[in-house]
Chains A and B, each alone.
Chain A
Amino acid sequence: MASNAWARSTALLALVVLLTLLPMVLPPFYVRVAMSICLGAGFAVAWYILGGFAAYYSFGHTAFIGIGAFAAALACQAWKAPHWLAQLGIGLGAATLASAAVAAIIAWPILRLRGHYFTIAMLAVALVCAELASAVPAFQGAIGIGLPNIVPLSVRVELFFYWVSLLGFVLTMAVAMAIARSKIGYGLFAIREDEDAAQMLGVPTTRYKVQAFVISAALTGLLGAMFAWNLGYITTDSVFRGSLSLEMIVNCLVGGLGSLTGPLVGAIVMMAVTKLLLSNMLEYHLAFTGFIIIAIVLFTPEGLVGFVRRKRLARQARAEGNAE
C-alpha cells in the first residue's frame, strides 16, 4: 500500500519535472500550444469544482476570468514593484482576492437557484460584469488596460508564461484533488446526486456550495490573470467572452463529467484538435465546437473518460463472468 503511494508520487513528480523542462527544447509555437493547454485544463478543472463535484453548471464563469484579469491589471497600475516576482505576486494576488470576494458576495443568493435557473443566472452575472467593465470609467474596460511586462530579460517570453500557467494548472489540480478526497468532497458529491437527501443526512449544503463556488471562482480568477498577462493588453471583449465560458464547459463535457481526469483529457483533446488540426480553418471554430457538443451529448454523454471506463468495467464484468 505504502509503496504504491510512493510509486505514484514519484511518477507524478517526474511528470511535473518533465513538463517543466521539455518545452525548453520545443519551438515557440508548440510552447504556446502547451501554455494554452495548461490554461484550458486549469479553467476546466476550476469550473469542474462547482460543475462536476456539485452539478451546479455555471454558464458564466468568464465573469471571473474578466474580474481576475482586470483586478490584476488595475492592481499593477496602482502598485509598482521593483522586482518582477513581486509584481507578479501583486497581480495574481489581487486577481484571486477580487474573484473570491465577488463570488462570496453573490454566492448565497445565487446558489439558492437550482438547475436551469442557476445556469442562466450565472450567464446574467457574466453579462452584468462585462457591461460594468465597459460602462464604469474607473475599470477602463472600453479603452483597455495594459499589464506590465514582467518577463526577465534572460527568459524567452513564451516559456515564461508557459511556466506560470503550468504552476497555475498544478495548483488548481492539487486543490481539486484535495477537495475530492476530503469530507467536503463527499458532501459535494452527495449534493450532486440528490441535494434534498443530502440535506436530510446532515450535509451542510449551503455552506459547502458557497465554499465550492468561491474556490472555483478564485482559481478561475487566478488563471484569468495569467491569461490576461499573456495577452498583454486587455479590453472588456477580450476577457469577458462567452466563448471562454463555453470552452470550459465543452472541455469538461468532452472529457466527461464523471471524474477529475475528464476536464484534463477534454482540454488536451480539444486544444490539440483546434490548434493543430483546425489551425487554418479558424473561421469554422464555432461550428466545429457546436458539432462536438451535439455529438457528445447524443452519443457519449459521459465523455471520453466515461466511455473508456464503461468499456473497462464491461470487460471486467465479462472476465468475472467467465471465471466462474
Chain B
Amino acid sequence: MITFVNTLINGILYGGILSIAAVGFSLIFGVMNVINLAHGVFVIGGAYAALVAWTRFGIDPVLALPIVMAAGFAIGATYQRLVIQRAVERGTPVAALLVTFGFALIVINGLNVVFSSTVRNISPSYSFLNLRIGPISLDAVRFVSFLTALALIVLLTLYLRRTRMGRIIRATAQSELAARLCGVDARWVYAATFGVGSAFAAASGVLIGMMLPFTPNDEVLWTVYAFIVVTLGGVGSPAGALLGGILLGLASTFTQTYVGAIYTNVVMFVLLLLMLLVRPHGILGSAFKGSR
C-alpha cells in the first residue's frame, strides 16, 4: 500500500516536471502548428545554464530561473524570426521541422564540445533533504521543483488569458488572417510565441537539472516526452500539458515500480503510438483550432 502511494505521489511530482517541460512545446505546436524538434535543446540548455550559474556563480537554480528564461526567450524568438519563419514561408510543411532539427544538431554539438558528454547534476544545498509526511517520504528537490513547475504553469495560463499579448497570441492562433486584418503582425506574434515556449522549456531544464542527471544527448528524449505529453493531454493549453504530464508521470513511475525500470521508456513510447492512433489531438483536444 505504501509502495502504491509512494508511486502515485512520485508519479504526480514527476508529472509536474513533465508538464512544464512540455508546455512550451504545446504552445508552439498549438499556435503555429510547428513541431519544434529543437525543444529538447532548450530544455537541456536550460539545465546547463543553471549548472553554470550554480558552479561558477553560486546562484541557486531556482533563483537563476528568471535569467535562464529570459535567455531562452531571446534565443528562441530570434531563431524563429530569422530562420523558422523564412522556412515556413518557403512552403513545404516539413521545412520548419527540418530547420528546428538543424538548430538542435548545432546546439547539441556545441554543448558536447563545451561540456563534454559527461553526465552532470546540479546539487543545491537542499539536495539530499527529505520531507516526511506520516509514512510517506518526499524528496525535497522534487517537491520544490513540482511547486515551481505548478507556479510557472499558472503564470503561463494567466499570461495567455489576462494580458494583451496573450490575447493577441490566442487570436492569431485561431485565425492568422483575421488577426492580420486587425493589424497584428503575425510574424512577431510567432516570434514571441516561440520565445515564450523556449523560455518555459529552459525553465523546465533548470528544474530537471536539479532532479535528474543529464547529458547533451538526452535532448531527443525530452522532445519526444513533450510530444507524448501533448498527444495525451491536448495541444495548445497549459491545462492539457498538465493533464498529459501527470498521466505520463504516473505511467512512468508505475511501470518503474511494478514492471521494471528498463521498460519505462518502452511503455511511454507505446502509449504515444496508441494515442496517435486513437485520439491524436489528446484528451482535451486542440485549444485553438476546432479539434476532432
A: residues with CB less than 8 A from B are 57, 109-110, 112-113, 115-117, 119-121, 123-125, 127-128, 131-132, 134-135, 242, 246, 249, 253, 283-287, 289-294, 297-298, 301
Q: Is B97 an interface residue (CB 8 A)?
A: yes
A124 touching B272, Cβ below 8 Å: yes
Q: Is B63 an interface residue (CB 8 A)?
A: no
Q: Is B263 an interface residue (CB 8 A)?
A: yes
Stretch of B109-117, B138-146, B157-165, B195-203 that contacts chain A: B109-117
A284 touching B109, Cβ below 8 Å: yes
In the bound complex, what is the Cα–Cα distance between A297 and B109 (angstroms)?
20
B103 touching A298, Cβ below 8 Å: no
Which residue in B101, B227, B262 is a CB contact (below 8 Å) of A293?
Answer: B101
Task: Determine the main DSSP class of A at the interface with B.
Answer: helix
Q: Supply 10 A–B pairs (Cβ within 8 Å), ascending by A.
A: A112-B277, A115-B93, A120-B227, A131-B263, A286-B112, A290-B102, A293-B105, A294-B102, A297-B87, A298-B99
B269 touching A127, Cβ below 8 Å: yes
Task: Determine the main DSSP class of B at the interface with A.
Answer: helix
Chain A proximity mask over B235-274: 1 for CB below 8 Å, otherwise 0: 0000000000000000000000000101101100110110
Which residue in B113, B262, B266 is a CB contact (below 8 Å) of A128?
Answer: B266
Closest to B272 in A: A124
Q: Is B136 an interface residue (CB 8 A)?
A: no
B105 touching A287, Cβ below 8 Å: yes
Given known contacts A116-B35, A127-B265, A297-B90, is B106 in contact with A290 (CB within 8 Å)? yes
B18–chain A nearest beta-carbon distance, Å: 16
A287 touching B109, Cβ below 8 Å: yes
A57 to chain B: which residues have CB within 8 Å?
Answer: 94
In the bound complex, what is the Cα–Cα distance between A247 and B273 (angstroms)?
24
B104 to chain A: which residues have CB within 8 Å?
Answer: 290
A291 to chain B: which residues have CB within 8 Å?
Answer: 102, 106
In the bound complex, what is the Cα–Cα distance between A242 and B106 (angstroms)?
15
B32–chain A nearest beta-carbon distance, Å: 12
A298 to chain B: which residues have CB within 8 Å?
Answer: 83, 86-87, 90, 99
B263 to chain A: which residues have CB within 8 Å?
Answer: 131, 135
Which residue in B97, B269, B273 is a CB contact (below 8 Å) of A116?
Answer: B97
Taking A121-B272, A131-B266, A135-B266 as known contacts, 6 extra A-B pairs with beta carbons closer than 8 A to each other, sorted by chain A number, are A125-B273, A131-B263, A283-B109, A284-B113, A287-B109, A293-B98
Within 8 A of A (CB), among B76-90: 83, 86-87, 90
B: residues with CB less than 8 A from A are 35, 83, 86-87, 90-95, 97-99, 101-106, 108-110, 112-113, 220, 224, 227, 260, 262-263, 265-266, 269-270, 272-273, 276-277, 280
In the bound complex, what is the Cα–Cα distance between A112 and B101 (angstroms)?
24
A253 to chain B: which residues have CB within 8 Å?
Answer: 98
Closest to B90 in A: A301
A131 to chain B: which residues have CB within 8 Å?
Answer: 262-263, 265-266, 269
B69–chain A nearest beta-carbon distance, Å: 24
Closest to B113 in A: A283
In the bound complex, what is the Cα–Cα distance between A294 and B105 (angstroms)?
11
A117–chain B nearest beta-carbon distance, Å: 6
A283 to chain B: which residues have CB within 8 Å?
Answer: 109, 112-113
A246 to chain B: which residues have CB within 8 Å?
Answer: 101, 105
Given known contacts A242-B220, A290-B105, A298-B83, is B112 in contact with A128 (CB within 8 Å)? no
B257–chain A nearest beta-carbon distance, Å: 16
Which residue in A109, A128, A284 is a CB contact (below 8 Å) of B269?
Answer: A128
In the bound complex, what is the Cα–Cα distance between A21 and B38 (angstroms)?
45
B273 touching A121, Cβ below 8 Å: yes
Which residue in A117, A121, A135, A294 is a CB contact (below 8 Å) of B99?
Answer: A294
A294 touching B112, Cβ below 8 Å: no
Which residue in B83, B97, B109 is a CB contact (below 8 Å) of A286?
Answer: B109
Closest to A115 in B: B93
In the bound complex, what is the Cα–Cα distance between A131 and B273 (angstroms)?
15
Closest to A287 in B: B109
Closest to A302 in B: B92
